Each structure stands twice: as structure tokens, then as C-alpha cells.
Structure 1
Amino acid sequence: MPKKRPASTPTPAAAPASPWAPAAAREQQRETKRNAVLSTAAQLFNERGFHATSLDDIAARLNVSKPTLYYYVKNKDEILIECVRKGLHMMLEGIEETRNAGGKAIDQLMACMRVYTRIVTMDFGMCVIRVGDDELPQESRKELRRLKSGIDMEFRRLVTEGIAEGSLQPCDPKIAAFVIAGALSWIGRWYQPGGEYTPDEIATQCIASLCDGVLRRPDAVHAS
């Protein structure tokens, strides 16, 4: 009598693919979209002002509904806090990178001035200058003013070191730092993307005016 063949074990069906991305991917997507909300808000704040910009305006430019924004931010105040914070962190990180690169104090100062100028022509940096922190709650103002103080102290330190190495004229580092940061910050007020000068050209001319002045020296007159 022929032996019976053992019944074959059925192959388990493959599990259906999940329509949801893994948690890490979802978090990355959320962060990308949150940054898009902040970038768009910064653009509108710079164009129209903080009070004249509504969440509806931000949602419309992003082609989403206003309720969608609440998945990424709590309210307009939080958006402004994050925009200004991002701009200040960009400035601090850029200055720190130039400091870490080493070299003479004057070279570091010039590099920091160029970095600062570039950032105030960008959306978040421009937001720091055009909107500022006066619209924010007291606690948020304290944090952001602490970050601004860090930038000021970096400029003071470089001026002090430049005087010590003989590359800068003796002066009050505090006043010099105020003049440098004040002049470069004002670029964020009048700069228009796509205008006559690129950010790099603006940086070159403004830094030259700050460092060399606008008066023609007698030796330059004789040389010509």
C-alpha cells in the first residue's frame, strides 16, 4: 500500500505593507514641515510685520488649512519666538565657527562681520532685526536677549584682542562692538532679495566702510 505524502505546510501570507512610515521617518517629516512653517512665517513677518501677519496668511502661503498649523506650533507667539531664536543661533554658531578656525584677531573679526552680514540677509536673521523681541512675553525676551548679549560679547572680545595684537587702534571695545553690530544689523532692515547687490557684495562694501572709514587720508591723496 503506497505511503501517504505528508501534507505540505502552507506558506504564511506576507503581511500587508503598512501605509504609515516608521516612527523615525514620521518625526523627520514633521520636523521638515515645522521648519517650512517657521520659514514661511519669517518671510511674512519680514514682508508685512508681525501684527499684520495672521495664521491664515501663513497657512494660505503653505497651501494648508489653518488647523493644520496647530500640529506643528501652538500659536503665533511661539512661531515668532522660534524664528528669532533660530536667527540668533545661526549668528552665534557662525561666529563660533570663525573663532574656532583660529588666526589673528583681526582676521577672525572680519570673518565674523561677514558671517553676521550674510545671516541678516536671510529670513531668520532678518526676522531678528525687523521684528525683534519686543512683541514677546517677558520670559522669552530674557532668553533671546541673553543670546544677543552673547553675540555682543564675542565682538567685544575680538576688538579687545585686536587692540592687544596691534591690528586695531586703541578704542573702547564696548562702543566699537555696538557700532559694528548696529551698522551690520541695519542691513537687515533695508536689504531686498534680488536687489542691486548680492549679500556678499554688501558685506564687502559695508565691512570696508566700517574698517577703513569714508575719509580720504592725506597719504592716499598724494599717492593718486
Structure 2
Amino acid sequence: MRAVLWFRPSVLKRVALPKTHWHKKTKDVKVQQELKRRAMLNLAAHSFSTVGYKQTSLDDIAAALAVTKPALYYYAKSKEDILMQCARISLERVELCFISAQDVKGNGLDRIRVFFRVYANMVVSEFGSALMREARRNLTGENQKSLRQALIDGQNFLESIIAEGIKDGSIRNCDSKRLAQVLFSAFNQMPIWYNPKGPLNPESIADEILELIIYGVGAKNT
């Protein structure tokens, strides 16, 4: 019989947990293992993003999945390993944003628009910027070094798209590094104020943010 879910009052009780598939049965052992691993990571990412990494324990994750704590060690060496695996999923999703941008048949500005329309959806998910913020603060050693390099690579990739736009004339001559920083900063704040029940979806909000950055806020007659 499945155990009754238990949550610490100060931590997971306040969180609307996503549906998981830890207990879903399949005939393929490898598929079953991957379902369990992803169930663990989905739940952990949700809690890390909404409650915080330090406020979430392995006991919390195990209890929410209705399994024993030792069962988690089959899929992760430690809580930090779980955080790093979550961060890798986030980075993979950012890579898909860049792939979407590179597939566009257009100029540099067109690619920027496509990238951030896709990125806006990713950034407000459980594997979005709130999760990455926790990863930057709490990963240590080689994990931290690996994450930092991946973030630098992402920054450089966006700068290269901006440089393409400057070259083709779709983006005015500017410091590509500074523009990349402004764009990432604007979008990475979305989880703080985004309302999924609001009137606008992430793509529409992305368009609004880009319009403000591209055309500024000054009236045309000023």
C-alpha cells in the first residue's frame, strides 16, 4: 500500500506539487528507471524553485514521492547531485532556445525575437531562472565550475547572434555584451512577477519586453 504523503509544515506543505510518475509501471526496466529519475528531478526542481534549495531536504523529496530516502540514492549521490541534474535539464532547454533561434531564416533581430519567445516559456517553468539562481548559489567545486562555464557559453552564444544583427543592420551598433546582459536580466526576472493565470502568455510578454528594449520608452516627439 502506498504511504501517505507527508510534508514538513514549513516547507512542502505550502507548495502545489506537480504530478509525478515514480509509481507508474512499465515493462521496460530502463524506461521505468528514467521515469523515476525524472519524477524525482521534477519534484525537486519545483521545490528548489519555489521553497529554496536549503529549505528542501532529501527527506522532503522522498516523502513527497512516497518512497524511502535510500531509494533516492539509486538516482543521485546527494542533494547537490540532484540540484546539478536539475541544472543540466535547464541548460538543455536553453540550448533548445538557441537551436530554435538558429533555425530561423531571417536576420539577427529575428533570431533574438525567436530565442526570447521560447526562452520566456522556459524561464517561468520549474527548470527556469529561479532554479538556476538556486544552482548558482549552492553548487560547489566542479559542479559550480561546470555551471559557470555553461552560463558563459550561453552568454557568448547570445552575443554572437547580436553581433550577426549588428553586421546585417537589423540591430544598431552597440556593445553586444551589454545588450545580452540587459536582455537576460529582463527575462530572468519573469518568475518573480509572472502570473500563469494572467491575461498574457509568456510569448506575448516576451514580445512586449522586446518592444520596450528595441524601441525604448521615449515618445517619438521627444
Superposition TM-score tier, normalisation by shorter sequence: 0.7 to 0.9
User: What TM-score do the two structures reach when normalised by structure 1?
Assistant: 0.81
1:139 paired residue among 134, 139, 142 = 142
- What is the match of residue 170 of structure 1? 173
Give RMSD over aligned pairs: 2.0
Q: Deviations over 1:38-69 (max 9, x none)?
A: 01000001111110001121122222222222
Task: State the 1:115 CA deviation.
Answer: 1.6
Task: State the 1:140 CA deviation.
Answer: 0.8
User: What TM-score do the two structures reach when normalised by structure 2?
Assistant: 0.81
The residue type equivalent to 1:206 in the other structure is I
Task: State the 1:173 CA deviation.
Answer: 0.7
Cα distance in 1 for partners of 2:26, 2:61 equals 27
Task: State the 1:179 CA deviation.
Answer: 0.8
Cα distance in 2 for partners of 1:61, 1:210 equals 42
Cα distance in 2 for partners of 1:21, 1:35 equals 14
User: 2:100 touches 2:114 (CA, 8 Å); kept in 1?
Assistant: no
User: 1:133 touches 1:141 (CA, 8 Å); kept in 2?
Assistant: yes
Over 3 Å counting, the alpha-carbon distance change for 1:209 and 1:21 in structure 2 is closer
Over 3 Å counting, the alpha-carbon distance change for 1:105 and 1:71 in structure 2 is same
The reply to whether residue 56 of structure 1 matches residue 59 of structure 2 is yes
User: 2:113 touches 2:207 (CA, 8 Å); kept in 1?
Assistant: no
Task: State the 1:193 CA deviation.
Answer: 3.8
The reply to whether residue 191 of structure 1 matches residue 194 of structure 2 is yes
User: 1:84 touches 1:133 (CA, 8 Å); kept in 2?
Assistant: no
2:95 paired residue among 74, 92, 95 = 92
Structural mapping, 1:61-76, within 5 Å: 61-76=64-79
More displaced, 66-75 or 30-39?
66-75
Structural mapping, 1:26-41, within 5 Å: 26-41=29-44
- Determine what percentage of the aligned residue pairs are the same residue: 34
Task: State the 1:133 CA deviation.
Answer: 1.8
User: 1:105 touches 1:165 (CA, 8 Å); kept in 2?
Assistant: yes
Structural mapping, 1:15-34, within 5 Å: 25-34=28-37
More displaced, 73-82 or 185-194?
185-194
The reply to whether residue 110 of structure 1 matches residue 113 of structure 2 is yes
Q: What runs of 5+ residues in structure 2 fail to find an aligned partner?
A: 1-24
Task: State the 1:170 CA deviation.
Answer: 1.1
Residue 67 of structure 2: SS of its match in structure 1? coil
User: 1:129 touches 1:188 (CA, 8 Å); kept in 2?
Assistant: no
User: 2:123 touches 2:188 (CA, 8 Å); kept in 1?
Assistant: yes
User: 1:88 touches 1:128 (CA, 8 Å); kept in 2?
Assistant: no
User: 1:156 touches 1:173 (CA, 8 Å); kept in 2?
Assistant: yes
Cα distance in 2 for partners of 1:21, 1:62 equals 17
Give the number of equivalent residue pairs. 198
Task: State the 1:191 CA deviation.
Answer: 3.0
Q: What runs of 5+ residues in structure 1 fail to find an aligned partner?
A: 1-19
User: 1:92 touches 1:150 (CA, 8 Å); kept in 2?
Assistant: no
- What is the match of residue 149 of structure 1? 152
